[in-house]
Structure 1
């Protein structure tokens, strides 16, 4: 692989060499919408703002434009491949990037490229950092060993206390290397005072929402573990109420699952109440239109950014009682938790949220917004991550990696 000679990259590397900031290479499989990808771009922007050089290697995707706007350099790398031959060849590719751009830190957010990146860091002397974005499943020792690579960074970042506990219980990590840095909400973007009536009207018109009818919103890509079927089973128990529900998120090629959801909508007699929409380009307006936001994931979310975004907009959230949602929601104060996969309990939570009196809704709004701004802001996430970078660089020589 030849490294592209882009002026933006060379210029910033020259600045970094003059002592203006570190050169950090982040590696993520692709730049398709997701929490890991969004976090990658946010950290890249924060690094550039502090005078550093941000490089991201991935297979690319629709978020490349966001990365360029952040002032970062993107390099194509087959980072999503689990093919052992490709992973082996990626060692040399990553080492070439490190040497060509004087990379000081390699920060990896996925297992397959982490194996290649660690070997490249050992070859070049660059620092190796990982982020656990999810509680990786394993059913045998081989799969657990494959996952272990994410616990072998000089610093291992967990995106929630839930993930940190999973790492402690299942992997060989010295507690001194583990850092909890919760995912951050862009409170400048997700601010209820910054969403105009015009934006809400435009989106309402596009979604053909009737005036005065409560809206139940479920953001999240169409994949089974996100829990769309649980929500539909719950909505079938609310036919005595007047509501509309919008599920917003791409199926990312899962057309069979979309058809399954459409059939379930029909079997429950919800055709006039439920709409399945593709990606929304104005989620702040979508949250403002909603009366309640749902996160019914059947598998625990590592963090669950939509829970934080909805609370930042002051919206009641009804979420499965596990994973990162437990850390974000104070039950019955900033939202409502329900037992995982329990459609009847979800229906009860939706009733409770929709029936909130104006003063109770106002208190929930204020408590939720305050808590997100105090504990889950993007600025805090970026500052703490850049602090880990500085900590590793100050440590000097690369630390010994843990062995299993």
Structure 2
């Protein structure tokens, strides 16, 4: 039987929280889903098979970084991103839009797209909606993101509005560019990205324009760019409800464990963030009782696991004392072990939320999580 190109089935809700399954030809994605970030065709400090063992159904790759090194055309000649990195399940690639913002000193933005200089060697490149779709097609992405500009929330409102309108014009061009690659479009999905920063009326205009164009899923963009959790949750109180209820809703670049719980509480289905891997390389472990700084001397003779509620291979094998030693010594294995645990914790958190939503007890789950993780009932 041929699997569908893309389908999303909602199985249960609990308040605004939702659980379901995205079905694609390379496998299913259980939602709410957390996607480990594999920026340069690797989830840092992890083998692909170990990433899968944490429970991840899908990973994220970075269009900007992969186009610069090793190059999208080279990846295509080598059989595509899945074969190149030995990951046979779905891959979502971002469009390069976030780098458009973060590399603002190296860029020139026009209606056509963005001309920029490589941060690697200074060479000139242009990303347009059409080129972004071409790069993601060459990579062989399963979920392709429309090309957009991601402005900082503290820019003037008129700038935010103009940027949003530009992103919506680019969204339509992305749709057309994606559809022009018929063979890839027949097995991949395209997501649009809502913009508008912290302005509800702009978010509404963006959502309406995206819905009119039509996408397989919709992302809430323009958050997690310095506005803080309270402001982010303020937008999430209304922004997901503006998007089609029968399509996945993806919050880009988020976040801390308590961000994930709060966003699921507000109707978000998909997430990605570098935090669990970056923190792992810096000696910070996430646990059900809050984060641990493993550089702290109090762990030097602690024979317990990182988290006594975790069943990952790290927690069932290694002590806090040993991992503290590795981290303090700058040993590569320390980064590997903490990263593996962090990704396992994030997947366990998502699984716990899916179970609670299915049981209709998400509010209780969220309250217990906050009590244990944050030390509060807020």
TM-score bracket relative to the smaller structure: 0.3 to 0.5
**Whose radius of gyration is greater, 1 or 2?**
1
- Ranked by relative contact order (alpha carbons within 8 Å, sequence separation 6 or more), the top structure is 2
Q: Which has the higher strand share?
A: 2
Q: What is the TM-score normalised by the length of structure 1?
A: 0.33
